[in-house]
Chains A and B, each alone.
Chain A
Amino acid sequence: MSPSFHNNVHIGYHTPSNTQGVYASSAYHPLGVDNSFDLETFLNELHLSMVKNTEEEIILELVGIDAPLINALRRILIAEVPTMAIEYVLISDNTSVIHDEILAHRLGLIPIRADPESFQEYHKGEEPQPDNTIVLKLCLECKQNPQARPGAEPEELYINSNVYSKDLVWQPLGNQLERFGENGIRPVLDDILIAKLRPNQRIELEARCIKGIGKEHAKWSPVATAYYAMLPQVELLQEIRDEEARRLVQKCPMKVFDLEDIAKRQSCADDDDLSDNDNNSVVIAKVVEPCRCTMCRECIREEGWDKKIRLSKVRDHFFFSIEGTGAIPTDQLFPRALKVLRDKCDMLLSFLESIR
């Protein structure tokens, strides 16, 4: 499927154009074209593949989907997929330099690895129950280290000078231990610094995690961020050869272009090979890695170059990145977002049903 020019977002040097798609079903009605959303064609044209899958980030490639739809998924990921996060902190002792409120705020932002599906929503004023609350405890006191060399770093001079997220200890409520197993619930990362202590300073607190969504507070967002970028497209409108071509290759920081010797029909990897070539050869620039293009517009910065190179973005081809916090395994994030979306659709349908 080669995307037509009209379907692309044009990237000019000073301003982008044709940024908005046309989604209204009646948009082309006078032309006799039905623009309404058709599930079947959508399913036929939709392609989904995974570009990257690590603990922290997943990149999906989606083709044949509109910006509004993929944006809905992005918004849901940020704001509406529930997770567990610390909401209530009962502080019994805090003699550190960090104020209670700030300490509680810091604790809240620590991602907790726990499956929110296994928990109910907690309502304010309720007694904490095993099915809606996770309790974590933190109890630490800083002491002078008798073995420390004088003048050493504070980490050596004192014991427990740094309070890390690993010091949060899960206190299973009710049958939680059976349900989640030993070490089933814990902070995602062990080395998040919560506070610093000095001898005789002490923190003792109980933190309660409840289920929530990112709309309420960013701490419940399962992603650090979720975003997408449209597929970049780089086209050479005319042949760029010799010195200009070399300049172009050098200009592009992302190495989108490369040189091709049309005399020998032999592509050269980089400048070193180039110098070996005899001067008679004719080189032309060629787009080799359009996907790398970040649309920095460096290649069309100089006067007149926008006549030679056309940069554009393919409107229905996305790279969708999900950077998870780890509260929910990253590979589960996209399905969960879809589920939230489906639930919302169901709700809308049933609502429409009810008013009919």
Chain B
Amino acid sequence: MWSSADVAQDPQEEDLKNILFQGENQEQLRKPIKSIADKWLLVPAFLKLRGLVKQHIESFNFLIEKELAKIVAANEKVTCDADQTFYLRYLGIRVGTPAIEEDLVVSKVTPQECRLRDLTYAAPIYVDVRYTRGKEVLIRKDVVIGRIPIMLRSSHCILTGKNDQQLASLGECPLDPGGYFIIRGTERVILIQEQLSKNRIIIEEDKKGNYCATVTSSTHERKSRTSLVYKSDKIYLRHNSLTEDIPIWIVFKALEVESDQEIVQLIGSEPIFAQALLPCIEDCISRNIQTRWQALEYIGSKVRLYRKGYSFLRRSVVEEAQEVLAGVVLSHIPTFQHNFRNKSIYLAFMVRRLLTVAENLTIVDDKDYYGNKRLELAGQLLSLLFEDLFKKFNADLKRHADMVLSKPNRAAQFDIVKCMRPDTISVGLENAIGTGNWTVKRFRMHRAGITQVLSRLSYIAALGMMTRVTSQFEKTRKISGPRSLQGSQWGLLCPSDTPEGESCGLVKNLALTAHVTTDAEEEPLIRLCYILGVEDATLFSGDELNHPLHYRIFLNGKLLGIHRSAFYFANIFRLLRRKGAVGEFVSIFVNETENVVYLSCDSGRICRPLIIVENGQPKVTPQHIEALERNQLQFSDLVQQGLVEYLDVNEENNALIALSEEDIDPSKTTHLEISPLAILGVCAGVIPYPHHNQSPRNTYQCAMGKQAIGYIGYNQHLRTDTLLYLLSYAQKPLVSTKTISFIKYDELPGGQNAIVAVMSYSGYDIEDALILNQSSLDRGYGRCCVVRKHAVGLRRYPNGTCDRVCRPPSLSEGSERSNHKFACLEEDGLPRVGARISPGQAYLYKETPMDTMTTMTSQQSIQQVGYRAQPWMYKGPDDAVIDRVVVTCNPSSHALFKVMIRETRTPEIGDKFSSRHGQKGVCGLIVPQEDMPFNEQGICPDIIMNPHGFPSRMTVGKLLELMAAKSGVLSGELKDGTAFGGDPLEDCASMLVQHGFSYTGKDILYSGMTGEPLQAYVFMGPIYYQKLKHMVKDKMHARARGPRAVLTRQPTEGRSRDGGLRLGEMERDCLIGYGASMLIMERLMHSSDAFIAHVCRQCGLIVSKDWCPTCASALYIRPLKIPYACKLLFQELQSMNIWPRIMLEEWNSS
């Protein structure tokens, strides 16, 4: 366990070794509890071990390394109906390294190449098969059955294990967390999905207010939902495959428990239960069902039949009932050879739990309790998809074999390996991840939006996306339960980071030290349990099962047996786990109200590391922390030595966790928090002093940090994203937090430290507007680059012709105007890198063939094809610069051009800025430096912020940030503003005093305009400000005249189409109310779609200018000015045989 034995000569280390090996030194244990000053250092150690996106990567690795083999093993044989001797058996499965096949050449790919070339970063899946060909049995190895997209930084990604330099040479950012996929050039994340846990009994109230016990059973084959409903004093079994609710007594009888006494004993013979069960018994008797056979017949008649295809396999009613009870109802409880004992015991337990609630002994389960939730990660979701695709793949093979082998005489021997088409699996996986539509036929599951494009707006945005947890609840429903913060989410989900609006509380983010488990093997655990004294439940009678001292032992929702002293069992089990005999993520939870011990080793449980406390002493000592700091110890060593352990939500209920050393109660405390800062997530971790802010402000910052412009990665200049925002001079914040250093936000920051004066200035700072200093902008504050991708692909046409990029015609001759148009282009039709391009100039000159349909006969005629010019024009708001030109081809070997066009912007009026405290504002005025106020040191602010922003927002953290930053600047150090800690205000303030500044942080300022001191002291100092992506340049829009929609002749809509500004219904209502009828006429008709229609006065129909066909006359035609949309409506009505008539009267002027 102690890994660095070779360096143990050092006497200090000998010491350490003694402690680590637990010299059972009682004296040492009896010492007073010392606080472990730097126990927060465990958090970076944890992150080093598991990384920020560990849950995604571990889950994917599990899929690749273990789950795929299991899936293949479960579906290992393909047979054929036509030829009984034919078979194909999978012997093994492997995933290779990411590669791409081009022109029959397989070559390795790097993620960066995939991004640039719009490829999918995927690796081939190899299988070994044994199959029959004619009479031979062959074994083939390394047959490719498809390609699986590979998660970046997972075990099969080429980036794992590379050092920073190697990563840089691959064009990769060393700080990039990985954990996402690259599908056709776009980075996509499979979001973590939150679900109610499977195979667990949950007691709830249904819509009618009846109590019911529900279990969602989930196995590889089937998902089903079984409920017991307690209505009108009787208990019924409700299941989808049954047409109506079945009285529970009948079910028990059908499950081979025929004696009423035995049933009652199984459930519990305590008088309160027996009493409650009486109506059930009576109900059963009244239906005259006594025997198992009768019960099965009753159930069989209620089975819902929707298997149409198997009509020839018609079974008897009894068989049907047996089948349903064995395989469908509570399908996660296995039945062997129609032995229903397990199931009846389980069902009895469900009844017992239902009755405890119905008789008010306990209350219903909380569905929002996080112990009842499971998180589905990329690995699980992909495994569902893969199994489905693999089944389809095998079904295709079988169908093919059936088809070929049923033919009487065949030309060649049938070789099934040659029919294996890898496309089924490749395309299926690629499309699912590429679109986010998850379709699993087995479970009839259709889910959209499982994946999202990884936001690369800022480093924080990308990280924040990797920790996002979405839930399956409908967003539109107004439910508060699942949205509100639950106590059990402590330390696992960030309390601040959730979006506002419809998905508030449904989309969550993982906390810093949260870990999501992957599946662990059940078999060894089961064996261990039996060794530790668990006895098989089927061997017990009902009374023994329900003995108050006997605890039922459940493993992943399945009843293992019972134990006579549960606490002893739990303690031994925990001890073994700390010694490493049991997996570190296996949880054990003793539920004393239910007399049950729940063991879990399933995937998707969310857990977190805690320091173990024994006899009031935390087992991690300052020496361990020192060793961690010196890199002599890893976090995993601490876990292995049983000093730190992972607890999941359920097991936390058996623990008493102290927040700090002072809170340790030697007789009760079992665990110690590593650090309170770990309850926050990545985005909230960036906020300094968040514990001083009003909580919604932290939530706002979590949303805004993702919109901040900054550095997005060390490879940002190599990336070809559709839109990149890059800040020119991003700075690390003066007031940092521990989380900032853990996640390396200080290396890829998203903002700048601005000197902020909190005062009013002019009138342009109302409603949160900011005043900016012109000179600061001149010197580079808030300067950013906007890089936009303009991709052009060349198409190939059916007749053999294709698009081409070539020298623009006018480069030598031609008019001056067209010379200007192509000024940025070079001889090859591509733009010159570094050239300045104005709107209306071409950035690429492409030609398309005139004729794409007629097939050309000879090579010569292809050259004779005429080409039509198709230059690609730059349509930006302003001049820009050609940043880069990428010339490549996609897998179908079509040429692909990516022209990156860059624009440099300085802040202007209307650009949005925000501090790290949810305080956003737009720039209201840019003031020259000489007009800005200045203090006695000559410092003048970069930003002036109106003090009205503070009282209602209550962002005290921002005030503290200013004080800390100001003192940090004066003393030349970075200050710490970590949540629930950070440098105290008093220290910062006295530091200010030491440097001759006011204790309050307020300075004397002189007006830049009058030159006299201002009439108040001004709170001034540095605050970290973020420039947000919303800039007026991208939004401002106005039009006088412009394009109109073809159908209605009304102005188009939207800025991108140069649309008009709509005078909507509400505005119209105002005008009506005001009585400005002529203005309405102008806005709604003259300025929009006025049209002279000709109406026949006699028939009232819209007709042509000079003839009314209905009246066969031209005499009564009059011009009429109406909106075109009105005329259109009339005509559309006419087409439906409704004839609107416009009745005109002669206008009499007198």
Measuring CB to CB, which residues of chain A are less than 8 angstroms from any residue of chain B? 9, 11, 14-17, 19-21, 67-72, 74-75, 78-79, 91, 94, 97, 99-102, 105, 109, 214-215, 217-219, 221, 225-230, 253-254, 294-298, 301, 313, 321, 323
Distance in angstroms between the alpha carbons of A225 and B942 in the assembled complex: 13
Closest CB in chain A relative to B784 CB, distance in Å: 10
- B775 CB-CB contact with A under 8 Å: yes
Q: When chains A and B are docked, how far (Å) is the Cα of A340 from the Cα of B421?
A: 84
A79 and B930 in contact, given A100-B834, A298-B993 (Cβ under 8 angstroms): yes
Our pick among B992, B1008, B1015 for the contact of A16 (Cβ within 8 Å) is: B1015
Across the A-B interface, how many residue pairs have beta carbons closer than 8 Å?
124
Q: B778 near A15 (CB under 8 angstroms)?
A: no
Given contact pairs A102-B904, A296-B996, A109 touches B1013 in the complex (Cβ within 8 A): no
Q: Do A295 and B930 touch across chains, with their CB atoms under 8 A apart?
A: no
Residue numbers in A under 8 Å from B992 (CB-CB): 296
**Complex Cα–Cα for A344 and B132 (A):** 103
Does chain A have a CB within 8 A of B938? yes
Q: Is B950 an interface residue (CB 8 A)?
A: no
Given contacts A94-B834, A295-B1004, contact A67 B783 (CB under 8 A): no
Q: How far is the CA of A323 from the CA of B996 in the complex (A)?
A: 21
Contact (Cβ within 8 A) A227 B1016: no
By a CB distance below 8 angstroms, the chain B residues around A215 are 928
Given A68-B1012, A109-B779; 5 other pairs, CB 8 A cutoff: A9-B1013, A109-B780, A227-B934, A295-B1004, A297-B999
Whether a CB of chain A sits under 8 angstroms from the CB of B19 is no
- Quick one: closest A residue to B1012, CB to CB? A67
**Chain A residues, Cβ within 8 Å of B207:** none
B728 interfacial contact with A, CB 8 Å: yes
User: Quick one: which of A69, A99, A297 contacts B998, CB cutoff 8 A?
Assistant: A297
B963 to chain A, nearest CB (A): 14
| A102 in contact with B783 given A16-B1015, A19-B1012 (CB within 8 Å) | yes
Residues of B within 8 A of A79 (CB): 928-930
Question: Is B555 on the interface with A (CB-CB < 8 A)?
Answer: no
Chain B residues contacting A20 (CB-CB under 8 Å) are 1010, 1012, 1015
Across the A-B interface, give the 8 residue pairs with the lowest CB-CB distance, nearest first.
A71-B1011, A227-B938, A218-B778, A294-B996, A218-B775, A67-B1011, A229-B936, A75-B930
With beta carbons under 8 angstroms apart, the residue of A11, A101, A109, A313 that contacts B881 is A101
| Contact call B938/A323, Cβ cutoff below 8 A | yes
Please name all residues of chain B whose beta carbon is closer than 8 Å to the beta carbon of A97 when the two chains form the complex. 717
**B939 CB contacts on chain A under 8 angstroms:** 225
With A71-B1010, A254-B996: A218-B717 Cβ-Cβ less than 8 Å: no
The answer on a CB contact under 8 Å between B881 and A99 is yes
Convert B988-1002 into 0s and 1s, putting 1 for each residue whose CB lies closer than 8 angstroms to a CB of A: 000011111111100
Query: With a CB–CB cut-off of 8 A, which chain A residues contact B1015?
Result: 15-17, 19-20
8 pairs, CB–CB < 8 Å, chain A vs chain B? A19-B1013, A71-B1006, A91-B834, A100-B834, A101-B785, A218-B929, A295-B1004, A297-B999
Minimum CB–CB distance for A259 against chain B, Å:
20
Chain B: minimal CB distance from A330 (Å): 14
Question: What chain A residues lie within 8 Å of B775 (beta carbons)?
Answer: 78, 214, 218, 221
**B residues in contact with A218, CB < 8 Å:** 774-775, 778-779, 929
Q: How far is the CA of A340 from the CA of B1015 in the complex (A)?
A: 30
Which of B717, B938, B998 is within 8 Å of A296, CB to CB?
A: B998
Chain B residues, CB < 8 A from A72:
1011
B883 within 8 A of A: yes
Beta-carbon contact of A68 and B1011 below 8 Å:
yes
Closest partner residue, chain A, to B992 (CB atom): A296
**CB <8 Å contact, B994 and A253:** yes
Contact assessment for A15 and B1016 in the assembled complex, using a CB-CB cutoff below 8 Å: yes
Partner of B1013, one of A16, A105, A226, A321: A16
B1017 contacts partner chain A, Cβ-Cβ < 8 Å: yes
Contact with A along B217-235 (1 / 0, CB 8 A): 0000000000000000000
CA distance A15 to B778 in the complex (A): 33
Q: Which of B779, B930, B993 has the most CB of A within 10 A?
A: B930
Q: Is B469 an interface residue (CB 8 A)?
A: no
B1014 at the interface (CB under 8 A from A): yes
Most-contacted residue by chain A among B717, B774, B937, B1012 (CB, 10 A): B1012
Chain A residues positioned under 8 Å from B1012 (CB to CB)? 19-21, 67-68, 71
Interface size class, chain B: 35 or more
CA A78 to CA B932, docked complex, whole Å: 11
Chain B residues within 8 Å of A, Cβ to Cβ: 717, 728, 774-775, 778-780, 783, 785, 834, 881, 883, 902, 904, 928-930, 934-940, 992-1000, 1004, 1006, 1008-1017
Distance from A105 Cβ to chain B, minimum over Cβ atoms (Å): 7
Residue of A nearest to B903 (CB): A101
B938 and A321 within 8 A (CB): yes
Q: Which of B997, B1013, B1017 contacts A313 (CB 8 A)?
A: B1013
Given A67-B1010, A75-B1008, verify A253-B996 contact (CB < 8 Å): yes
**How many Å lie between the Cα of A234 and that of B935 in the bound state?**
19
Report the bound CA distance from A313 to B902 in whole Å. Answer: 52
The answer to whether B778 and A217 have CB atoms under 8 Å apart is: yes
Give, as a whole number of angstroms, the nearest-CB distance from A298 to chain B.
5
Task: Give chain B nearest CB distance to A303 CB in angstroms.
Answer: 14
The residue in chain A whose Cβ has the minimal distance to the Cβ of B787 is A99
Contact present for A296 and B993 (CB under 8 Å)? yes
Asked if A228 meets B999 with Cβ closer than 8 Å, knowing A74-B930, A99-B904, A102-B728, the reply is no
Closest-by-CB residue of B relative to A319 is B936
Give the docked Cα–Cα distance between A219 and B778 (Å): 7
How far, in angstroms, from A101 to B902 measured CA to CA in the complex?
A: 10
Name which of A72, A109, A297, A313 has the most chain B CB atoms within 10 A of its CB: A297
Determine how close the nearest CB of chain A comes to the CB of B835; give it in whole angstroms. Answer: 10
Is B1004 a contact of A16 with CB atoms below 8 Å? Answer: yes
Which chain B residues lie closer than 8 Å to A217 at the CB level? 778
How far is B1013's CA from A230's CA once the two chains are assembled, in angstroms? 9
A226 to chain B minimum Cβ distance, whole angstroms, is: 7
In angstroms, Cα B905 to Cα A289, docked, is 49
**Among B779, B935, B995, residue most surrounded by chain A Cβ atoms (within 10 Å):** B779
A240 to chain B, nearest CB (A): 19
In the assembled complex, which residues on chain A have CB atoms less than 8 Å from the CB atom of B1013? 9, 16, 19, 230, 313
A78 in complex: contacting residue of B780, B930, B935, CB < 8 Å:
B930
**A102 to B717 Cα, complex, angstroms:** 14
How many whole Å from A8's CB to the nearest CB in chain B?
11
Query: Once the chains are docked, how many angstroms separate the CA of A192 from the CA of B1008?
Result: 30
Across the interface, A294 reaches (CB within 8 A) one of B881, B936, B1000, namely: B936
- Contacting pair B881 A296 (CB below 8 A): no
Residue of B nearest to A69 (CB): B1011
Residues of the A chain whose Cβ atoms lie less than 8 Å from the Cβ of B883? 99
Contacts of B1014 in A (CB 8 A): 16, 19
A350 to chain B, nearest CB (A): 25
The answer to whether A16 and B881 touch (CB under 8 A), given A102-B904, A228-B1006, is: no
B774 neighbours in A (Cβ, 8 Å): 218
* Closest B residue by C-beta to A224: B938
Chain B residue nearest to A78 in the complex (CB):
B930
Cα(A97)–Cα(B1008), bound, Å: 39
Q: Given A15-B1017, A225-B938, does the pair A74, B1011 have CB atoms closer than 8 Å?
A: yes
- Taking a contact as CB atoms under 8 Å apart, the answer to whether B1016 and A16 are in contact is yes
The answer to whether B1010 and A294 touch across the interface, beta carbons within 8 angstroms, is: no
Closest Cβ neighbor of A19 among chain B residues: B1013
How far is it, in angstroms, between the C-alpha of A185 and the C-alpha of B865 when the chains are bound? 62
Closest to A301 in B: B999
A296 to B939, CA, bound (A): 16
- How far apart sit A100 and B996, CA to CA, in the bound complex (Å)? 43
How many angstroms from the CA of A351 to the CA of B734 in the assembled complex? 51
Closest to B940 in A: A225
State A24–B1066 Cα separation when bound (angstroms): 53
Measured between beta carbons, the chain B residues less than 8 angstroms from A75 are 930, 1008
Whether B995 lies near A253 (C-beta < 8 A) is yes
B999 contact set on A, CB distance < 8 A: 296-298, 301
Whole-angstrom CA separation of A119 from B995 in the bound complex: 44
CB B982 to nearest CB in A, in angstroms, measures 24
